[in-house]
Amino acid sequence: MSGESPALYESFDDRFRTGQCMNGDEGLEVLYTGCRWAEGPVYLPAWRQLIWSDIPNDRMLRWDEETGSVSVFRRSAGHTNGNTLDLEGRLVTCEQGNRRVTRTEHDGTITVLADRWQGKRLNSPNDATVKSDGSIWFSDPDFGITSDYEGYRAESEIGANNVYRIDPVTGRVSLVADGFGAPNGLVFSPDERQLYVSDTGAGFIRVFDVREDGTLSDGNVFAATGARTAARFDNLRFDDDGRLWAAAMADGVHCYDPDGTLIGRLNVPGAVSNISWGAAKRNRLFITAETSLYSLLMGVTGTHPTGPGRRPWLPAR
């Protein structure tokens, strides 16, 4: 029948079906609508809550899993974008408007982790990921300084859009990858031997080998939007079977086999900005798309923001 919405799951390869990627809810659950542009969901296991950003409205929102209620977590938040957790379960946030990466301490105070590189102000940090050694890696495109909609219009002091690493001991900010149109989402492979970075400007997902000294290889193209002209890659997440899931804006959520094959996708209303795994089993996929927050209980399990199987609020053994 004409006018029907497309099916939630769309398979391009049998591995999408046999890998249990289509074994889950038959529809998306709408958890909240009313944002101007939603991004940056991260699940806080200790509190059973999800924090995400509403960038143009300059606020962070909080959804409570137990009650289903939504409240304002922080207002006048620096036009925050991406959020993640560090090894102690503290919130790490990319503040586009304030042009910095911060950490929210357990007592609620905010610590600035990075706001400059070689004495120059960052552009507008977008997304961050944490390695098991405690280092924080983040992308720094210019989205927050091109207009006043998601930040404050300004000239780039650096003159390029790069990826950086914050040393866990010294706090030193180092450039680890450049040559991007607009670096966006980034995530480590489950074994942390590779770093995957989406380039929204170029239509690629690039993969870099991670060296022991914290530097990266030159990087190769893992996936490209190609003929899928509606796709623009945003943030990235792995599941426990090594498949890469990518927020692909107007093309939904892509699922890639470890060999780089696009094996399936999720059709989502509106342009998908970010995705994040959560809930007790990490098999609930949270999706931000334009004005809304959705969730989907799935047959696959996602890796934790700080690595597979780790619980960052507990001491390492």
Helix and strand totals (H; E) in the chain: 1, 27
Q: Spell out the residues 6+ positions from residue 6 whose beta carbon is closer than 8 angstroms to its own.
A: 267
Confidence (pLDDT) at 4: 64
Confidence (pLDDT) at 82: 98
Q: Do the beta carbons of residue 247 and residue 255 sit within 8 Å?
A: no
Confidence (pLDDT) at 315: 34
Q: Spell out the residues 6+ positions from residue 2 whose beta carbon is closer than 8 angstroms to its own.
A: none
List the one residue out of 178, 182, 170, 176 whose CA is nearest residue 81: 182
Query: Strand, helix or coil at 18?
Result: helix
Q: Do the beta carbons of residue 90 and residue 104 sit within 8 Å?
A: yes
Confidence (pLDDT) at 245: 98
10 Å Cβ neighbour count for 218?
9
pLDDT mean values, one per 10 residues, the chain (317 residues): 75 97 97 98 96 98 98 97 97 98 97 98 98 97 97 98 98 97 97 97 96 92 94 97 98 98 97 97 97 98 70 36
* Alpha carbon distance 210, 190 (integer Å): 12
Question: Radius of gyration over alpha carbons of the chain, in Å?
Answer: 18
Residue 108, CA distances (Å) to 69, 73, 90, 194, 232 in order: 21, 11, 10, 33, 35
> How many C-alpha atoms does 278 have within 13 Å on its Cβ side?
25
> How many C-alpha atoms does 241 have within 13 Å on its Cβ side?
16
Residue 184, CA distances (Å) to 35, 151, 152, 278 in order: 21, 16, 18, 21
Query: Strand, helix or coil at 15?
Result: helix
Confidence (pLDDT) at 308: 47
